[in-house]
Structure 1
Amino acid sequence: MAGDVVSVRLWLPQTEVVEVIVDAPGRLRVRVASSVSRPRCADCGARCGRVHDRREKRVRDLEVSGRPVTLVWDRRRMVCDGCGRRFLEDHPALEGRLTARLARRLVADAREMTVNTVARRHRVGWHTVMALVIAYGGLVGEHRRRRRCRRHQQPPPESCDAKPTASPTTPTSKPAASSPPNLTPPSPATQTPQKREGSTVR
């Protein structure tokens, strides 16, 4: 073994390294596979352990020591024992042509520099970076709209509850509460004692 060999961990969740395909000064290519032995079927949710075949998928990852890294994912096509459906396994970090952490790095760098500079720095296409920026902007806008909707939805129940309690304190409600003894004409029952008192005085 050469004296300048250093083992590098990918630090990707649910991922195991199968082999290093290319280890050159200008690039690094690693074969990886999912560490989930029995993925779930997307239709019935059952655990599947029968593999129909495998398909290679190349995914770009963050650079290591200045070298672009390409992950060759041995993606399995599973056969569900429950419903018989064939499906490709999913991976939280290897969906698409870029890893999730590389996509986040591209968007973060695009906030500090131009799209052309980001594309040249990470050796990816301009359209790739621009598509990520547009998608991220849409997610941020949707998140802000949901926050505004939640803020507007919370006050109405409080205002509706406050209206009945605030109505008795309004100026129009106070005379209504005090009007029966002061403003309404006296009933016949109250008039008879007054006549009797007047007769006794006379």
Structure 2
Amino acid sequence: MKQLGSVLALGLVLAVGACGRTADSTPEAGGAAGASPTTPTTPTAATAAVPAPAAAAATGPARLDGYGPVSLDSTLDQVRAAWKEPLDGAVPDDYCHSLRPQGAQADDVVFMIESRRLVRYDVHNDRIVAPGGGKVGMSLGELQTLYPDRGDVTPHKYDEQGHNLRVRPATEGGALVNFEIDRNGIVTDWRVGLPPQVDYVEGCL
């Protein structure tokens, strides 16, 4: 009888051990076999949705270093080649002269050529935005908000109640922007160019 009890006890121990091994071999939830489809998961920084980048601000043809496909200080031949469309105006070798686009862009811009190089361009309409955001029709106060650090208010040569806002270049030797402002404090035109030509009030005479 004692021998039979020992055999039964041994069988019970082996059965319990077998059950333990079966439980240990079962993958835990979220283990290598993958999480249960009904188990909610928390997004991590790596999997969280990343917001789409903001759309780039629209830019026009006016730049501090040029206008559209042409660059300041380019030769006359380089200007004509880059612009591709015809430009009105004859250019004497050593004289200041203006070139205007033909067609739809005829009233958009005037190029100043001096010694057969592009030294400045002028804009007289509110369709084209100047480098930095200024344009025809703005007030002096609006300009000063756009150009708070480098804008100098100077007297107008012909209108004692008018002004210029002359925006100094950000880097040495760069181009300036000069806004003409009438007696009502409104921008009538502006120009971008290299000194001293950017300060020619009359343009090319």
TM-score relative to the length of structure 2: 0.24
Q: Which has the higher helix share?
A: 1
Larger RCO (CA within 8 A; separation ≥ 6) = 2
TM-score relative to the length of structure 1: 0.24
